[in-house]
Amino acid sequence: MISKLLHKVSQKYAPKWLVLLFDLLIVVITFILAYFIRYNFKLGFNFNLVIEQIPYVLLAALISFLAVRSHRAVVRFTGFKDIINIIIGANILATILIVSTFFSRKFNYDELFDVPGSIIYIHLLLNVAFIIGFKLFIKSLYNTLTNDYLPTKNVLIFGAGSSGMITYDAISNDPQNHYQVIGFIDDNESKVGKKINLLPVYNLKRITPELVLKNTIEEVIVSIQNIDPTRLLQITGYLFDLGLLVKIVPPLQSWIDGDLSIGQIKNVNIEDLLGRDPISIINPALIDEYENKIILITGAAGSIGSEISRKVSRYNYKKLILLDNAESALYDLQQEFKQRGLENIEAIIADVRNRTRIDQIFNQYKPKVVFHAAAYKHVPLMENNPFEAVSVNIGGTSNVADISVKHIVDKFVLISTDKAVNPTNVMGATKRIAELYVTCLKEKGHTKFITTRFGNVLGSNGSVIPLFKKQIENGGPLTVTHKDIMRYFMTIPEACQLVLEAAAMGNGGEIFVFDMGEPVKIFNLATNMIILSGLRYPEDIDIKITGLRPGEKIYEELLANGENTTKTYHEKIMIAKSRPIDIINVEKQINKLSTVNSLTQPLEIVSFIKTLIPEYISNNSTYEVLDNKK
């Protein structure tokens, strides 16, 4: 019954006129009190005159509070900005009284407007103290009454700096938060052992199982701006071992209107634990790059293609053409853009292997910028289906590239992969041939051909993260092919930022590679995902080593033998200086490879590929027999 009554009350707010009335009432009380304080609590002043001055003081207070609109604030949510507003209003009131007193004495006005200076200053201080104190009292009372009937979680805030204080205020100002902050954690030893807002500050090592049990701590909120990912990994690992849930405060730039709300505090994601700073590219030149341009994206429904589409859609393009042969996924992307109210977007079902169809689309829409993301990417599948890998990754690329030259496209951006470097599988080798093909075209027309090469993308279709999530949902085990296998990782937005930046900075013929930091052990990634899910390894979910798949490497590379890099204006983006190639011979061999058909035996197809890419050495694959013949 009480909880229902409190819930009903919590849904109502005091009317603005009532808040203003209480503020004015406090002004009257403090005005009289100021006289008593000034005269040592004796009636040594003209009390009747004070009573006559009250209406004038009320009018001045009314003007002041209406000017700053302090009465519009919800009392139970009183925060720092509201307190500043009250202080400004009280100072305006004092200023009005000082000005009127000055003119009253100078021109011998009615003494009604003559308030002693000492009274004005005492009144100012009392107004600030009483009005703020009253509002904070109501806020505290409300929170106490409502929180007593809500289940609460005892939490610690990691970070006793300004961000931690903002987080504390956000929690304190939200009566429905279900959180009770009982202390802070900080790496700064000068803060450890002290108190902030009467709450203790701990060192991380002081958070022991005994302390957690004694205080029934359930969560820790990490509130440090620009925290080093490696340090975050250390913190989360330590806290996870204590059975605590860890959440993180987002970066300042993502706060809504510059204010933090509890709803923005999120669980730590695997992206937060990459072990490197997120890539940030801010380049005003991108606006000019896509301004009033017709842009075509192949493979637009895929993980990379769809994110490129989303990023391009933020610019003032002339027309955006989304091309893919995956009907359902393309339909979903089209509907997403329709819900956003975007115009001049065409979703086209087409296969990049159909040269006539692609030529027709280019002839109809005449794109000026092409992002070629259409490809087959799954290593084990392509190892068993080399014809399909050749037809899409090589044939599809050559189709779109040739037609781009024919229709005088300004820029063609090829999405490649680190698996193209010293390839050990069919997929990587066909992507390397695609790189070579666009390199051969770089001086054969108006079109500038640009290649972007990066590692694994977190969360892309069929990648390791969604696989691990599904395995965790099914109770495990998580499958890892080798305990030492390592991969470079980036998020989908990071990958697409690189692609857009490459299109802007590229002059044709470059292969852009990305400083992806240190490679991540897949085994460690698996254990972190288990922990992030609130489970324990190996008690709750185990990890099973399944052995390397056909064509799979233990370590990936971003540069081939004979390649080095030159810097660009962005520290995270470099240009691979590839070794010279015999364009005539390479074109001849690629054209020969393009003649293979579905009846050609896989060994024969892969033999053609190995002739063209001598550094292609198969690993854990049936095609190793071809390497032995070399």
Strand 179-185 with 153-158, pairing: parallel
Within 8 A by CB and 6+ apart from 480, the residues are 522, 523, 526, 543, 544, 545, 546
Q: How far apart are CA 265 and CA 222, in angstroms?
A: 9
Structure token pair of residue 186: 């900080």
Report the length, in residues, of the chain.
Answer: 630
Q: CA dist 104 to 101, 109, 202, Å?
A: 5, 4, 59
> Does residue 579 contact residue 513 with C-beta atoms inside 8 Å?
no
Which member of 419, 448, 572, 610 is catalytic?
419
User: How many beta carbons lie within 10 A of that of residue 147, not counting itself?
Assistant: 17
- What is the phi-psi region of residue 274: left when phi exceeds 0, alpha when psi lies from -120 to 50, beta otherwise? alpha
Fill in the amino acid letter for 604.
E
410 burial class (0-12, 13-18, 19+ CB within 10 angstroms)?
A: middle
Any idea what the Cα angle at residue 289 is, between residues 286 and 294, rounded to 5°? 130
Scan for tokens 């990634």, then name that residue: 525
Alpha helices in 373-518 (DSSP H): 379-384, 386-389, 397-406, 426-440, 464-473, 492-505
608 burial class (0-12, 13-18, 19+ CB within 10 angstroms)?
A: buried
Q: CA dist 337 to 168, 346, 582, Å?
A: 38, 10, 44
> Does residue 567 contact residue 432 with C-beta atoms inside 8 Å?
no
Phi, psi angles (nearest 5°) of residue 21 = -65, -45
Q: How far apart are CA 177 and CA 150, in angstroms?
A: 9
> Does residue 405 contact residue 442 with C-beta atoms inside 8 Å?
no
The answer to whether 419 is a known catalytic residue is: yes
Fill in the amino acid letter for 560.
A
The residues that are catalytic are 419
